[in-house]
Amino acid sequence: MNSADGAAVVVGVDGSEPATRAVLLAAREAVRRNRPLRVVHGFIWPLLGVPVAAPAGAPPHAGLRHQAEQLVADAVNAAQAQESGLRITGEIIDGEAAAVLIGESPTAALIVLGDRGLGGFASLVIGSVALQVTAYAECPVLVARGTARDTGPVVAGVDGSALSRAAVEFAAEAASCRGAPLRVVYARPGGRAAQAGEEERLLAESVAGIAERWPDVPITREAVHARPVAALTEASRDAQLVVVGRQGRGELSGLLLGSVSQGILHRSACPVAVVRTPG
């Protein structure tokens, strides 16, 4: 996908603090990719039959619709204050948040979300909207976990599958538009001896063609003897971004988001991108 197709970076907002962090991350990402930013709020109340206008006689700002308009306007203003030249639009779409955002995904370049929102379950590390959208979106999804930094490598986790190929391609593009190095990590739990050359072969296959397509991106490849989630969590501590893949469809396991993707979403010290493999 190239920036000439006009697809926007879409950010989902619910007025929460994590969503505001996502807005600032999304604004930066839109500038890096030379794309417009589209701020979207899924507005559930009309579907539930709740009156959304201010009651007769009440001030106009009393209504739920007005609150939704205000939170979208606040997000647009925050993004514009950070990135003055960025083209930004805001929209309220009636519907349940995950459905609204998944509906945006076929035409979005990227969807950006907070890790949590306004919801109540303190025990959740990642909110249900964020989890559903990362599992079902047709475009890559960036979750604003941990600390957003402008320095450090972009890390791609690979396992030799087609899934990790899509992750490496996304990571290389992300590294190029940041002027950052790409660090490709293959984690293999200890206790199982690798065939001589096996790891090196898998890593070489994972990055085949990448150096030619992204000649400006320095690439390092590493085999780490650790569990994948532990290795990627460790790598996230000084990274700008960690990128992992997921299945296009989950018929086999019924689980669209693999255990490594879920694990790193829960534990990463920096933002995480989950990239869908086409098909």
DSSP 124: -
Q: Please tell me the distance from the alpha carbon of residue 219 to that of residue 207, in angstroms, as a whole number.
A: 9
Residue 50 makes contact with ligand ATP by CB under 6 A: no
Distance between first and last Cα of the chain:
16
- Complete DSSP assignment for 59-102: -GGGSHHHHHHHHHHHHHHHHHHH-TT--EEEEEEES-HHHHHH
Q: Of 126 and 207, which has the nearer Cβ to Mg ion?
A: 126
| Subset of residues 125 to 144 that bind ligand ATP, contact rule: CB under 6 A | 127-130
The minimum distance between CB 12 and ligand ATP, in angstroms, equals 3
Query: Looking at 10, 25, 28, 42, which residue binds ligand ATP (CB under 6 A)?
Result: 42
Stretch that binds Mg ion, among 101-109, 122-130, 200-208, 255-263 (CB under 5 A): 122-130
Q: Of 79 and 129, which has the nearer Cβ to ligand ATP?
A: 129
Residue 29 makes contact with ligand ATP by CB under 6 A: no
Stretch that binds ligand ATP, among 7-15, 49-57, 167-175, 236-244 (CB under 6 A): 7-15
Q: Provide the token pair at 162.
A: 């087609």
Residue 54 makes contact with ligand ATP by CB under 6 A: no
E strands, 66-192, are: 88-94, 110-114, 141-144, 154-158, 182-187
125 binds, among ligand ATP, Mg ion, none (CB under 5 to 8 A by kind): none
146 binds, among ligand ATP, Mg ion, none (CB under 5 to 8 A by kind): none
Phi-psi region of 209 (alpha: psi -120 to 50; beta: other; left: phi over 0): left
Query: Looking at 37, 83, 117, 172, which residue binds ligand ATP (CB under 6 A)?
Result: 117
Partner residues linked to 142 by β-bridges: 112, 273
18 binds, among Mg ion, ligand ATP, none (CB under 5 to 8 A by kind): ligand ATP
Query: Looking at 8, 9, 10, 13, which residue binds ligand ATP (CB under 6 A)?
Result: 13
The minimum distance between CB 123 and ligand ATP, in angstroms, equals 10
CA dist 27 → 117, 234, 275, 279 (Å) = 18, 27, 19, 29
Strand ranges of the sheet holding 241-246, from the earlier edge strand across to the other edge: 88-94, 37-43, 9-12, 110-114, 141-144, 272-276, 241-246, 154-158, 182-187, 219-224
Contact positions vs ligand ATP (CB under 6 A)? 12-14, 16, 18-19, 22, 40-42, 97, 101, 113-114, 116-121, 124, 127-130
